[in-house]
Amino acid sequence: MVNYLWDNIFNPDAKEKQHVKKLRDCFLFSSLTTKEILFLKDIVHIRKFNIAENIFKQGEMGVALYILAKGNVDIFVEDIDLITKESKEIFVTRLKQGDFFGEIALAEKDNVRTATAKASTEVQLIGLSKPDLLEITERSPSMGVKILLQLGEVLGKRLKQTGYKIEELRKEMKTLSKHQKSES
């Protein structure tokens, strides 16, 4: 019985260990020391969402980055028909446990969400807001720099991917245009 008592005093509970592992596994925090991860764990926020519940909607102000600790999140963009002005959601991707999203909210002033994130299962998220990041940089500048460097790398990679996609679409449009002209 005494061992059980000591175990409870000195060992964090299973959920806390899971959150520490999720933070450690997230690319944004992969350069942090164990001490820094434990510091971060006390700053982040845990949020739960039910199936089909919106985490955020396209056009809303972005307030936080989210790490998917449990469940799946679907990302949609709104498509507005230019003639009828009707809008519909277009599925973009499904995020799974360990993925993170909403990182632009940490980097951009007055950020507006570019997509809608919706829980496709019961979801548990670990959230880091811009004020949280600012607190980290004030209390531990070296830790803040590590996170910001990783954030910069993620944003750079995603910008490159977007550039490649735009180039692919441009090529497809050229091919379609040539095909249509040859049929005329």
Compute and round to an integer the Cα radius of gyration of the chain: 21
Q: Backbone phi, then psi, for 108, in 5-degree steps?
A: -110, 135
Q: How far is CA 155 from the centre of its chain?
A: 11
Q: What share of the chain is helix, strand, coil (3-state, %, to 5)?
A: 50, 25, 25
Extract the tokens encoding 95.
Answer: 């995020």
Judge whether residue 99 has pLDDT over 70.
Answer: yes
Given pLDDT bands bounded at 50, 70 and 90, which one contains residue 1? very low
Phi and psi for 88 in degrees, rounded to 5?
Answer: -145, 155
Mean pLDDT, rounded, of the chain:
88
Question: Residue 132's pLDDT band (boundaries 50, 70, 90)?
Answer: very high
More confident residue, 23 or 181: 23
Two tokens at 68? Answer: 């998917």
- Residue pLDDT, tens place only, 155-170: 999 889 889 888 998 8
pTM recorded for the entire structure: 0.79
User: Which domains can be identified in the chain, with CATH numbers?
Assistant: 2-183 (2.60.120.10)
List helix spans (H) across the chain. Answer: 2-10, 14-25, 34-41, 104-107, 130-139, 141-183
